[in-house]
């Protein structure tokens, strides 16, 4: 992926389907809600590699895309909610298209030209590479609790829950019973730590926010280390160079 394009927050071409992928800003994500966003994100990002060998063997003839489409086409109420979350995330990524699901795959019809494009088994894994590059999450940064119905969907949700068990620590209850969410927390920290206007961070993409937060952490740790050394502290554990490449 073009790191400069990701940092610039520009739209990303996806030639495999002749589509343009929009990098949504935090403000745009706020329109659908963080919980809905992460539900859609996790389902799109599902991989059979998260399952046990027993579960994988029962799905040997199905691709990740086949499983996603099967989940999205379930009719029960809970899965309809999760389907809606996936469609909301896709709408953020493809705001110029009307999106539908059928036997062929995910269908994208351009609002103006009416041209149709498709994401299917042939290009879905390529799409996920771009998808994961745009959001740039790791297992210490985001979580979503899924609660789908149906045997296969529940097994998938269980695997996702286990994978992200540690991430739930990012969601803390406030004294009034509210939640401090992942994106809220990062923006709040950077606002105070960097002395910036909070509103400026809502114009960031997730990639930009995570990049700045990571660099801020490295710089803060480095500054504390230098200050401690200058004060005469001994046997300090070495810290990472704050200007290092964080995208390799």
User: How confident is the prediction for the chain on average, in pLDDT?
Assistant: 83
- pLDDT reading at 146 higher than 70: no
pLDDT at 180: 46
Kind of pairing between the strands at 97-102 and 12-14: unpaired
Helix or strand run (H / E) with residue 69 = helix 64-72
Sequence-distant (6+) residues with CB within 8 A of 97 are: 19, 108, 109, 110, 111, 117
Indicate the burial class of 65 (C-beta count within 10 angstroms; 0-12, 13-18, 19 or more). buried
Q: What percent of the chain has pLDDT over 90?
A: 49
Residue ranges per domain, the chain? Answer: 3-168
Of 91, 206, 221, 194, nearest to 142 by C-alpha is 206
pLDDT at 162: 52
- pLDDT reading at 43 higher than 80: yes
pLDDT at 165: 47
Q: Which of 73-82, 176-185, 207-216 has the lowest mean pLDDT?
A: 176-185
CA torsion sign, 23 to 27 to 33 to 34? positive
pLDDT at 144: 41
Cβ atoms 166, 151 nearer than 8 A: no
- pLDDT reading at 92 higher than 80: yes
């Amino acid at each position: 992926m073009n790191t400069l394009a990701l940092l610039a927050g520009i739209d990303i071409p996806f030639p495999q389907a002749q589509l343009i992928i929009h990098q949504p800003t935090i403000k745009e994500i706020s329109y659908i809600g963080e919980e809905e966003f992460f539900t859609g994100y996790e389902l799109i990002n599902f991989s059979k590699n998260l399952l046990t060998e027993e579960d994988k063997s029962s799905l040997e003839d199905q691709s990740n895309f086949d499983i996603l489409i099967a989940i999205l086409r379930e009719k029960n109420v809970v899965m309809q909610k999760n389907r809606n979350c996936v469609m909301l995330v896709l709408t953020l990524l493809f705001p110029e298209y009307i999106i539908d699901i059928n036997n062929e795959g995910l269908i994208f019809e351009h609002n103006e030209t009416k041209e149709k494009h498709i994401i299917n088994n042939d290009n879905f894994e390529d799409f996920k590479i771009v998808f994961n590059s745009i959001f740039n999450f790791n297992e210490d940064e985001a979580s979503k609790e899924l609660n789908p119905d149906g045997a296969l969907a529940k097994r998938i949700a269980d695997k996702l829950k286990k994978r992200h068990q540690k991430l739930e620590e990012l969601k803390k209850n406030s004294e009034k019973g509210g939640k401090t969410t992942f994106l809220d927390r990062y923006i709040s920290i950077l606002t105070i730590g960097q002395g910036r206007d909070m509103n400026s961070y809502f114009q960031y993409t997730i990639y930009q926010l995570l990049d700045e937060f990571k660099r801020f952490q490295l710089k803060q740790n480095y500054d504390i280390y230098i200050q401690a050394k200058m004060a005469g502290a001994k046997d300090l554990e070495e810290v990472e160079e704050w200007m290092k490449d964080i995208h390799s």
